[in-house]
Amino acid sequence: MSKDYGQFCGLAKAASVLGERWALLLVRDLSISPRRFKELHDGLPGIPTSVLTTRLRELETAGIAQRQIAGPTQAGVVYGLTAYGKQLGPVLDALGRWGAQRMSTPEPDDVITSASLAAALRSGYQPDVLTSLTTYELHAGPAIAWARAHGGQIEVGAGAPDFTADVTILAGPQLRLLLAGHMSASEAIASGAAEVTGPDGALATFSRAFHVPLDDFETVTDTS
Amino acid sequence: MSKDYGQFCGLAKAASVLGERWALLLVRDLSISPRRFKELHDGLPGIPTSVLTTRLRELETAGIAQRQIAGPTQAGVVYGLTAYGKQLGPVLDALGRWGAQRMSTPEPDDVITSASLAAALRSGYQPDVLTSLTTYELHAGPAIAWARAHGGQIEVGAGAPDFTADVTILAGPQLRLLLAGHMSASEAIASGAAEVTGPDGALATFSRAFHVPLDDFETVTDTS
DNA sequence: CGGTATCCCTTGCGATACTG
DNA sequence: CAGTATCGCAAGGGATACCG
């Protein structure tokens, strides 16, 4: 499947690497921050270690990812993106935003990972909302992500932040509707869909600063 | 391979459809213009008809493509993108630009298709160069594409245009270097890499209006 | 033209186990 | 923790033939 398409075309070259199973999600996770093998394995539920190894090698060969030694001996192996790989960030964000349009409610077996939550924050960020530096800690089910943003600058991460956030939000699956603007901040709080710690109006500001639209057709017409 | 990833994540949803073999290239071709089954088959060298059918069905189910009846009886079946599918255009352009950065010279067996050439034109278009409406007809080996552009507006197509272009360019593989700005218009003409019909300076303007950068490392370091 | 229908066969995924 | 090794299986891709 890693086969080439035999076309002199940038998209074909991209597809030959990123079209591999798990590759896009792996790059997504690496784009949040450098990660260890085990973190990657845990963040991609279902991927076998052998496949993870193979993908990492392929990404290395393609100049997208690289091994980094982070600590003493080889205990500190860490995978990160190269400069070339980092350029994929905005592209994957756009692709994720596109895919998210038809994604309103989690399927019964859908999992939310911390890295995908962080990526969602990054992809929905609106540069013109936050006029002063604001930090967020967001919990969506078992997933945790944080953001530190101000004007055109944003930084996100997966897992608990190492600082105390200005605003902490505990949310359930309804978070999707809030980010889409289909549920107001006050509704979210009143219904218990979100629990907020922080200044008054913080959730309203949050939902404007991180907007992931929904193009609802509710469900795609099933023609089967 | 069409398996889902079980994640509530826009990128994961996108990957489950677009990660399929041939899917990205198929959408690319459809994004240029609606096409018939045979045109799609011809434009994707190597794809079996059965796989093409399967992909088209999957794209239909995902709400990305749709069958359209273009003529009398069923002789006029045509596949096109839905509104949702059309939103992928700019995203795929970005992905193609990313992939093209490491693509300097065609591999011996690389093919150039008209649709990929048209997509390349669209992806490299610089909105601030052409101050008046200009039309181009571009030949790169066996591939033919055209563009009609002015300011922020651009329209591209695969195959010979149905109008007489202001500028006609016959180019070889060296075209890649011209688009990257690694070869000047005058060099291209002098060396015979490009043959131009049109006003003086037309090729220089063209190479500024359609810019596809090259991030060269020549070849990615092979660490095998 | 616009597909269906087979068929084989590779590949690479997923599972599990195990090593430095 | 950071992988390697093995293995079986199923899916799906590619080729080819054929039908409406």
Å between A148 CA and nearest CA of chain B: 21
Please indicate whether residue A32 or residue A217 has the higher confidence score (pLDDT): A32
**Is the domain of B98 the same as that of B202?**
yes
Q: Which residue is nearest to nucleotide D15 (CA to C1')?
A: B48
If you count residue pairs, one on A and one on B, with CB atoms under 8 Å apart, how many are there?
Answer: 202
Provide the residue count of chain A: 224
Q: Report d(CA B37, CA B22) in Å as an integer.
A: 14
Put simply, whether A207 touches B (Cβ < 8 Å) is no
Please indicate, yes or no, if residue B158 is contained in any of the structural domains: yes
Å between B37 CA and nearest CA of chain A: 19
The per-residue pLDDT for range B11-68, each reduced to its tens digit, is 999 999 999 999 999 999 999 999 999 999 999 999 999 999 999 999 999 999 999 8
Distance in Å, residue B2 CA to nucleotide D11 C1': 10
> Can you tell me the mean pLDDT for B6-13?
97
- Per-position b or e across A157-175, b if 16+ CB within 10 A of its CB: bbbebeeebbbbbebbebb
Q: How far is CA A33 from CA A157, A159, A161, A194, B19, in A?
A: 7, 11, 13, 27, 23
Strand order in the sheet with A194-197: A153-158, A143-150, A134-140, A167-171, A194-197
The per-residue pLDDT for range A7-32, each reduced to its tens digit, is 999 999 999 999 999 999 999 999 99
Residue B82's pLDDT band (cuts 50, 70, 90): very high
Least confident of A71-80, A173-182, B101-110: A71-80
Please indicate, yes or no, if residue A44 is contained in any of the structural domains: yes
**Is the domain of B97 the same as that of B199?**
yes
Please indicate whether residue B69 or residue B30 has the higher confidence score (pLDDT): B30
Q: List the structure tokens of B148.
A: 């009609």
> Can you tell me the mean pLDDT for A74-92?
92
For residue B108, what pLDDT is reported? 87
**Is the domain of B181 the same as that of B196?**
yes
Which nucleotide's C1' sits nearest to the alpha carbon of A42? D1
Residue B223: pLDDT above 60? no
Put simply, whether A212 touches B (Cβ < 8 Å) is yes
- Of the residues A60, A87, A114, the one at which a domain ends: A87
Put simply, whether A170 touches B (Cβ < 8 Å) is no
DSSP-derived secondary structure letter, B35:
B
Å between A19 CA and nearest CA of chain B: 5
**Is the domain of B184 the same as that of B153?**
yes
The per-residue pLDDT for range A119-135, each reduced to its tens digit, is 999 999 999 999 999 99
Asked if B50 CB < 7 A from strand C, the reply is yes
Å between B31 CA and nearest CA of chain A: 13
Q: Which nucleotides of D are covered by protein (CB under 7 A)?
A: 1-7, 11-17
Residue A72's pLDDT band (cuts 50, 70, 90): low
Nearest Cβ partner for B97 among A10, A23, A173: A10
For residue A76, what pLDDT is reported? 79
**Is the domain of B112 the same as that of B204?**
yes
Q: Report d(CA A170, CA A192) in Å as an integer.
A: 10
Please indicate, yes or no, if residue B65 is contained in any of the structural domains: yes
Q: Report d(CA A194, CA A184) in Å as an integer.
A: 11
Residue B104: pLDDT above 70? yes
Please indicate, yes or no, if residue B1 is contained in any of the structural domains: no
Domain that holds residue B61: 10-87
Distance in Å, residue A3 CA to nucleotide C5 C1': 26
**Is the domain of A101 the same as that of A116?**
yes
Q: Of B219, B203, B212, which Cα lies nearest the Cα of B117? A: B212
CB contact under 8 A, B8 and A215: no
Q: Which residue stretches of A44-113 are H helix?
A: 49-61, 83-86, 88-100
Residue B177: pLDDT above 80? yes
Q: Of B179, B180, B128, B182, which Cα lies nearest the Cα of B154? A: B128
Residues in chain B closer than 8 A to A177 (CB atoms): none
- Of the residues B60, B87, B114, the one at which a domain ends: B87
Residue B110's pLDDT band (cuts 50, 70, 90): very high
- Under 8 Å between Cβ of B139 and B173: no
Please indicate, yes or no, if residue A224 is contained in any of the structural domains: no
Q: Of B121, B123, B218, B96, which Cα lies nearest the Cα of A5? A: B96
Closest residue in B to A224 (Cα) is B61
Report how many domains make up chain A: 2
Residue B74's pLDDT band (cuts 50, 70, 90): low
Asked if B12 CB < 7 A from strand C, the reply is no
Could you tell me the CATH number of the domain that includes residue B156? Answer: 3.30.1050.10
For residue B97, what pLDDT is reported? 98
Q: Please, which residues 46-105 of chain A have a Cβ atom closer than 8 Å to chain B?
A: 46, 60-63, 84, 87-88, 90-92, 94-103
> Can you tell me the mean pLDDT for A204-216?
94
- Under 8 Å between Cβ of B195 and B206: no
**Is the domain of A137 the same as that of A168?**
yes
Asked if A220 CB < 7 A from strand C, the reply is no
Which nucleotide's C1' sits nearest to the alpha carbon of B53? C3
For residue A71, what pLDDT is reported? 64
Residue percentage of chain B with pLDDT more than 70: 92
**Best mutation target, B3, B4, B5, B42, to test chain A (most A CBs within 10 A):** B5
- Of the residues A87, A111, A129, the one at which a domain ends: A87
For residue A218, what pLDDT is reported? 47
Which nucleotide's C1' sits nearest to the alpha carbon of B78? C2
- Under 8 Å between Cβ of A148 and A154: yes
Closest residue in B to A9 (Cα) is B116
pTM of the model: 0.93
Nearest Cβ partner for A7 among B23, B60, B111: B111
**Is the domain of A127 the same as that of A144?**
yes
Residue A189: pLDDT above 80? yes
For residue B183, what pLDDT is reported? 96
Residue B221's pLDDT band (cuts 50, 70, 90): very low
- Under 8 Å between Cβ of B3 and A22: no
Q: Report d(CA B114, CA A155) in Å as an integer.
A: 41
Please indicate whether residue B98 or residue B72 has the higher confidence score (pLDDT): B98
- Under 8 Å between Cβ of B137 and B168: yes
Nearest Cβ partner for A84 among B8, B110, B215: B215
Average pLDDT score over chain B: 93
**Is the domain of A121 the same as that of A21?**
no
**Is the domain of B79 the same as that of B17?**
yes
Å between B65 CA and nearest CA of chain A: 12
**Best mutation target, B2, B3, B4, B9, to test chain A (most A CBs within 10 A):** B9
Could you tell me the CATH number of the domain that includes residue B61? Answer: 1.10.10.10
